[in-house]
A and B are shown apart, each in its own frame.
Chain A
Amino acid sequence: MISRILLIMLLAVSTQAKVNIVASLTDLADIARQVGGKHVSVVSIARGSQDPHYVEVLPSSMMKVKRADMYLMVGMELDQWAEQIIDGSRNRQLRIVDCSSDIERVNVPTRKVDASMGDIHPNGNPHYWLDPENGKVIARTIASNLKVVDPRHTEEYDNNLKVFIDSIDELEAHWAMTYSSLNGKSVIYYHDTWPYFNRYFGLTATAFIEPKPGIMPTPTHLDHLIHIINDQHIKVIAMEPYFSQQAPAFLSGKTGATIVHMAQSVGAEENTETYQKMLTYNLEVLMKALNSQ
C-alpha cells in the first residue's frame, strides 16, 4: 500500500516537473520562457539593467545553477563569468547551451587581438540578440535543446516556437512600416552594443563615446566627438542604462544632441518586459528623439 502511494506521489511529481533553466541574460531567459511555456521555470543571472560584461560571480548564482537542467550562455566571450558560476554549481547533469552557436557573427577581428584595442571580443561582437532575426535563431536553438532535455513536450515546444517566430514576423512587418524613417540615420553610441540592431534597422553608428571598447572617454576624444556631431549633424546620443551620464550630458550640452536611454536587454528600462517589447521600445525612443529636432 505504502509503495503504491509513493509511486503515485512520484508520478505526480514527475508529470508536473518543469525544466529548470538558468540564462546569463534576461533576453535569453525571456525567449526561453516563451518557447518553453508552462513546462519551464526560468531565471537569469544578470539583471536587465546590468552591464553584461561585468557580472560578479556570486555563490547565490551557483545555487541557482545547482538546481538547473539547462544553462543558456550568450557565448562569444561576453559571459565568461558564467563558466565560474557553472563550475561552482557542482551540477554534473547540466546541459550547457551556447546560444551563439548558429549566429552569423559580425565585427570578427581580422588581425591579432590585444589589449591595445580595448576590451575587444576576439570572436566578434557578442550583442547578437538585438537583431530580431537572431532572436528567431536563439529561439530555435533553445527549442531544439528543450526537446532533448524534455522530449515528452516536443509538440508544445514546436508550437511555442512557431508562435514566437510568428510574433516576430508580425512585428517585423509593423516595424518596417512604422519605423522605416530610421533607415540611414546616424547615431553616436556610448559602447559598440548595437551593430546587429543597426544592421537590421539600417542605422549607422558614426562614433562611440568610448574611444575603444571599455575605455573611459578622454577630453581629447570628447572634443573630437563634438566636431563629428556638429559636422555631420548627428541628432542622437544613445547610451545603455549602466553607463555614466556625465560624458553624454557634456556632449549634449555642447551640441544640442538628444540623449536616448536604450535598453540593451529585457528589463533594462520600463516597458521592456519581453524581448519583443524591448526591441519596439528601442525603435520608439530613437524615433521620438530623431523627430523631436
Chain B
Amino acid sequence: MRIIYMLALFISFSVLNAQTTVNPDISVIGQLEGNYAGDALDLNGASVELVFQGYVNPFARVDVFLHKHMDGLPIEVEEAVLSIERGLPFGLALRAGKLRPDFGKINVQHLHTLPQIALPVPVGQLLGEEKWGASGLESSWLLPFPWYNNLSVAYLQNGISEHHHHTANSEESEEESPGAAISARYSTFFDLSSITHIETGLSTYRLLDGPDVNIFILDVKYKWRPDKYRSLFWQTELFHRNGYSHLDEGLLEEHPQINAGYMLVNYQFKKVWNTGAIADYSSNLDGAVYQSVGLFVGFSPAEETTVFRLLIKQEQHGEEDSQLQIQTQLLWSLGPHKAHQF
C-alpha cells in the first residue's frame, strides 16, 4: 500500500509541475449496437468513450479513458494511467493508476480496434465483461536482446471479478470484487519479412488475497500487410484457469478448471472493406460447454473515423438450443486518432 501512496504522490507532483497552456489530445468514440437474438431486437447498446491523452513532462504521459454506457449507470473510469516510457534506465517503463495490465493480447486492446463487434465470450468469462482493469502499478522491461522481447509485471489492487457471462440464454449474476492480484506477460515479436510479422506472448495471473486462483494465457498474433488496401491478421488466445478456496478447518474446495480460447481471422480486401471469422470455446461456462462461430464484415468509408459492422454468430451453450445472433455496430470517432500498435 505504501508504494501506491508514494506513487500517487509522485503522479500528483508530476502533474502539478507540468501545468502548461498546451491542451491534451481529446477524442470521443461513440458506438451504437443493435442486437438480434432469438426473436428480440435490442438497440440499447449505445455508449461513448471520452479520451484525454498528452505528455505531462518530457518523460511521462497520461492517458485517460472514460466510458459511459447509455443505461443510467454513472461514468466509468476505464483507464487513467501515468506512463513513464523514456525516463527510466535499463529499458524499463512504468505505468501507474487505473490500468489494464499487459495480460494476454486482448486485455490491452480497445474493442473498437478489433474487427468484430463483441468481446470473445471466453475473454468476458475469464477477464470480465469490461476486461481486467484496476488501480495499481505495472513495470515492463525491454530485454537486452537484438529482437523485441518484453517482460511486464503488474500488481493491481483488485483481481479479476468473478461473474458469469451474458449469453443469449443466460443472465449476468452479481459480481464479487476480489483482493489484490499480480500478473506477468513475456512477449516476443519477429519481422518474418518487411510485410509479415508475428507476436507471441505467455501470461500468468495469481490472486494474492482470497481464493487461490491462477490463469495462464498463450497468445499469438500474425499479420500480413502488403499494401494499404490489403491485410490479413490472425489472433488467438488460449486460456487455462484453476484454483481452490480455503474452507474452515483447513479444507480446500477445488474450483472447476476452465480451458477456453478464441480464434479471430480478419481480411481487409479493399481500402474500406474487411471480413473475417471468429470462433469461441469454453469448457465450462456456468457449468456447461460453450462454443460459437461467427462471420463478420466491416465497412470504413473514411479511414477509421466511421465504421459499420455486421456480425452473424451461432452459439451453443450446453444442452440449450443453439442461438443465432445478429449484431450490428455503428462506430465513430471524433478528434485525433493515434496509430494502433501491432
Binding site for B on A (CB under 8 A): 47, 50-51, 54-60, 62-63, 66, 80-81, 84, 86-92, 94, 115, 119, 214-216, 242, 244
Contacts and interface: CB of A to CB of B under 8 A. Distances in A.
Contact of B303 (A56, A91, A94, A214): A214
B338 A59 contact: no
Interface string B302-335: 1101000000000000000000000000000010
Contacts of B147: 60, 63
A56 B227 CA distance: 11
Interface stretch (B64-72, B83-91, B244-252): B83-91
The 10 residue pairs across chains A and B that have the minimum distance between CB atoms: A59-B148, A81-B339, A59-B189, A87-B85, A57-B341, A60-B191, A90-B91, A57-B339, A51-B228, A63-B148
B191 A58 contact: yes
Given A60-B197, A242-B227, A244-B271, A90 B148 contact: no
Contact of B339 (A47, A51, A54, A119): A54
B150 interface: yes
A60 B191 CA distance: 7
B24 interface: no
Given A56-B225, A91-B86, A62 B339 contact: no
Nearest to A214: B303
B331 to A, nearest CB: 15
Contacts of A86: 86
Contact of A66 (B91, B336, B339): B91
Interface string B68-107: 0000000000000001011111011100000000000000
A57 B342 CA distance: 6
Contacts of A54: 228, 339
A92 B271 contact: no
Summarize A's interface: helix, strand, loop or mixed.
loop
Interface residues of B, number: 38
B19 interface: no
20 contacts: A50-B228, A56-B339, A57-B340, A57-B341, A58-B342, A59-B148, A59-B342, A60-B148, A60-B189, A60-B197, A80-B339, A81-B339, A84-B339, A86-B86, A90-B85, A92-B87, A92-B89, A94-B86, A216-B272, A216-B301
A90 B303 contact: no
Contacts of B305: 115
Instruction: Give the one of A89, A115, A216 with max B CB within 10 A.
Output: A115
Given A60-B191, A91-B86, A80 B338 contact: yes
B303 A119 contact: yes
Given A84-B339, A214-B302, A242-B228, A59 B199 contact: yes
A244 B85 CA distance: 38
B229 interface: yes
A59 B225 CA distance: 15
Interface string B184-222: 000001110010010100000000000000000000000
Nearest to B336: A80
Chain A CB within 10 Å — which of B88, B148, B305 has the most? B148
A81 B342 CA distance: 12
B61 interface: yes
A80 B336 CA distance: 10
A79 to B, nearest CB: 10
B142 interface: yes
A261 B330 CA distance: 36
B57 to A, nearest CB: 13
Given A58-B342, A59-B342, A90-B91, 12 more contacts: A55-B339, A56-B225, A56-B339, A57-B339, A57-B340, A80-B339, A81-B338, A86-B86, A89-B86, A92-B87, A119-B303, A216-B271
Nearest to A241: B227
A81 B85 CA distance: 16
Given A57-B342, A60-B147, A215 B85 contact: no
Contacts of A51: 228
A90 B342 contact: no
A215 B148 contact: no
Given A57-B340, A80-B338, A62 B228 contact: no
Contacts of B229: 244
Contact of A47 (B194, B271, B334, B342): B194
A28 to B, nearest CB: 18
A56 B61 CA distance: 21
B248 to A, nearest CB: 49
A88 B302 CA distance: 28
Contacts of B146: 63
A56 B91 contact: no
Contacts of B303: 119, 214
A57 B340 CA distance: 7
B189 A87 contact: no
Contacts of B271: 216, 244
Contacts of A50: 228
Interface string B136-149: 00000010001110
A90 B86 contact: yes
Nearest to A83: B338
Nearest to A79: B339
A46 to B, nearest CB: 10
Contact of A58 (B61, B83, B88, B197): B197
A148 B205 CA distance: 47
Interface string B221-249: 00001011100000000000000000000
A17 to B, nearest CB: 17
Nearest to A88: B85
Contacts of B150: 59
